[in-house]
Structure 1
Amino acid sequence: MERRNIHMKKIRFAAFDGAAVFSGSHNGVAAKIRLSYHCSLLFIHCRAHILQLAIISASNELPHISESLFTLKSLFYFINKSLLRLSRFENIQQIVQNRQLKLVQPGDTRWLSNSLSIQSVLMSYKPLLLTLEHISNERDEDSPEALGLLHILSNPSTMFIIHALEPILKALAIFSKQLQTKEADFAQLQIFTSATLLRLEELKDFSASDYENIIKTIQTLPLVSPLTRMTRLTVSNDQIDFRQVFDTKIVPFIDTIIENIQARFEPGTLALLDSFSIFDIQNVTDEPDYGDKKNCCSSTSLPKRF
């Protein structure tokens, strides 16, 4: 920071992602700056990281959501950690004329990663199923893991949950990007928060076009084929009540996210923080003060009696 000619003693606020290495009261970066430069530094928790914590907290409270997100991570490691498996996945994408895509690794501390990960899986769902089926039928050391992932992805309930998470995580990803814009202030943050909460409320309606399209998409995807070893886990679309899955898995997840956002982005706090914008030097204009301008006008309008 000193190499960039930043005067440390003039720093008054610092925003970090909330990790102990930054925010720790004794050994954190903020604490060390206060101690080294004898300044009253105020620590501000990064809003984008707060949103990520809200998503993590909501998913951890609901096992089916947590398991679905863990499946994305398992898929990434299984396909990408082997050049042979990755090459097969890419070849199958070419055969079925699917757009060449790479899976994205989801992570708790990487903003937008869950949204990007689920998009990459959905856009290559059929090639993934075919890749896992081919590997599981080879009966080698990778077959059991491939078969397990195949049955998870082929399960209509899991299919619906993963597809239904996409519009939810997309809305949160848009919110995260808005939080990271340099021009955003706390007044805009209130608008962004309200718009995101409104979108999440819309996604609690099963009759929304989002879910109609999801069900149509799922019905076109192949389930476990006759070539694959059949187990008691094999389920058909006809045996699944998507409305029940929606009411018991998706709606509680949305409600939990809404509660977390409302708790972490409390409107009263945002309004209070926005009031400090009057001290922003960028808001000061070059126009004369109102009182001076009024006095000037008054003096010029007075008649000269003497």
Structure 2
Amino acid sequence: MRDAFEDPFEEHRNLLFAVAYRMLGTAADAEDAVQDAWIRWSSKDRSDVAEPKAYLIRITTNVALDRLRSAQARRETYVGPWLPEPMLTSPDIADNAELSESVSMAMLVVLETLSPLERAVFVLKEVFGYPYAEIAGALDRSEASVRQLGSRARRHVEARRTRFEAGGGERRKVTERFFDAVLGGDINRLMEALAPDVALWTDGGGKVRAARRVIRGAEKVGRWLTGINGQPYAGVDPADMRVRRVHLNGEPALIVDGPDGPISTVTAEVDGDGRVRAVHLVANPDKLRAVAEGRRLPA
């Protein structure tokens, strides 16, 4: 009986998907990138491949780069705010702060603001810990230029990421209190949970009702969230909706289900003062397939 990991590609498939997902922001695009990498791998004469893992990372990164460049052009005409595709994660991923942050919706949103090359360098260096020399080889660029890309990307991300003074357990409590207020329609508790400059991102992709722009400010966000509570959404009556508390992208989250499957997901980003500074609501049906299938993001 053949060992399931006799083929290096199968051995490293989860790693390749993890790289591609952080590069592309959607499970569908990541899976396509991994499939393209497999085609290239399976058709190559591998007798001269000394380090299969490094070679596979190189293939996958470059495939993802090509896809990201074309995806960015499509996202310029996307209807409303573009958000990454949420994926289920196990609750214990939250205990690993660096890992959970690297797949959080907040981080993936920040990564969208990088150039494709900056994103590739940041993901490989800051998330997976590859040395600049290896990244330079993977991207076919000089180590000096890769270091410059990495430094620029890191400064950009640092300027936009949230710094937490409270631990992960406290952030989870804040998030759960926020969800309680949303589900209970309690505007007073909701306003207490929201940071004054909170931003609400709603991604319907033009396929379901959603705000066409990011909504900013506690009063506007609170009003919007309480306004949709108890209302029909995506053609589903409130009586037919069910809410699940799960973990998505390393964070506590809500999934709102209709009779035919998920109709939206909700995640929240907590700031250093213990208030919600961003809410991400994904309702585009194309971005709910991984959740509907119960797929988990590999660590």
Normalising TM by the smaller chain, what interval?
under 0.3
- Say which structure, 1 or 2, has more relative contact order (CA 8 Å, 6+ apart): 2
TM-score with structure 1 length normalisation?
A: 0.23
TM-score with structure 2 length normalisation?
A: 0.23
Give the structure with the higher percent helix.
1
Larger-gyration structure (1/2): 1
